[in-house]
Chain A
């Protein structure tokens, strides 16, 4: 029984790790967002596994996943908005070229 939980948690951890790698290693804003998406996906896997195997009666667990999904979508919407604005001004969304965003 817990085997499934462990498998899910390990998968979530690996997805999270890939996401961390992507977010740190990519130079492009959009690619960085992909890393973040993967990290969130890993987190969601964990959340669902916890809900299913530890507290299937507590639906706030599912609610949490819904909120994470919303965050994912909103992160993308705002991220793309910034990307468009940046591209319009500077002609690039490479983060290495984004000195002014680093402050």
Chain B
């Protein structure tokens, strides 16, 4: 298979899955429709009928991790091509990546020392 044929197959697979889910939905519709009743459509909150919208400014306590993750995550963009040729290149590759990771690790250590690794 060429590359494009593979992607087409994957795309077709995804579309097929979506299609079969829709078939399932229409089957369920054929069995019956949802009856509109008071209270039924309010998000369940354990016996209390809380109607207030909750879409507010949410305090994500992990933003310290989040910031470091955004940066640190990029490391793997370089790591995969590196890993593939690692055996071929040998020691130089190890040293290269060692330096790269050591630099990034410094960043992690700095973040840790500044208290980024905690619930804010």
* Complex contact flag A–B (Cβ < 8 Å): yes
Q: Which of A15-23, A65-73, A95-103 touches B?
A: A65-73
Interface positions of B from 13 to 51, Cβ below 8 Å from A = none
**For the complex, is A10 an interface residue (Cβ under 8 Å from B)?**
no
Dominant SS among interface residues on chain B? helix
Decide if B77 touches A77 in the complex (CB within 8 Å): no
Task: Tell me the smallest distance from the CB of B66 to a CB of chain A, in Å.
Answer: 7
Considering the complex, give the chain A residue whose CB is closest to the CB of B78: A66
- Identify the closest chain A residue to B77 (Cβ): A66
B63 at the interface (CB under 8 A from A): yes
For the complex, what is the distance from the CA of A3 to the CA of B66, rounded to whole Å? 41
* A77 and B71 contact, Cβ closer than 8 Å, known pairs A66-B77, A70-B77: yes
Number of A interface residues in the complex (CB < 8 A):
10
Count of chain A to chain B residue pairs whose CB atoms are closer than 8 Å in the complex: 25
Q: Which residues of A contact B78 (CB under 8 A)?
A: 66
Residues of A within 8 A of B70 (CB): 73-74, 76-77, 80
Q: Which of B67, B73, B74, B77 contacts A81 (CB 8 A)?
A: B67
Q: Is A54 part of the contact surface with B, judged by Cβ < 8 Å?
A: no
Chain A contacts of B71 at CB under 8 A?
73-74, 77
**Which residue in chain B gives the minimum CB-CB distance to A65?**
B77
Please give me the residue from chain B that is nearest to A62 by CB atom.
B81
Distance in angstroms between the alpha carbons of A70 and B77 in the assembled complex: 8
Q: Which of A66, A73, A80 contacts B73 (CB 8 A)?
A: A73
**Smallest CB separation, B6 vs chain A (Å):** 17
Query: Can you list 11 A-B pairs, Cβ within 8 angstroms, ordered by A?
Result: A69-B74, A70-B74, A70-B77, A73-B71, A73-B73, A73-B74, A74-B74, A76-B70, A80-B66, A80-B67, A81-B67
Known: A76-B70, A77-B71. 15 other contacts (CB 8 A): A66-B77, A66-B78, A69-B74, A69-B77, A70-B74, A73-B71, A73-B74, A74-B70, A74-B71, A74-B74, A77-B68, A77-B70, A80-B70, A84-B63, A84-B67
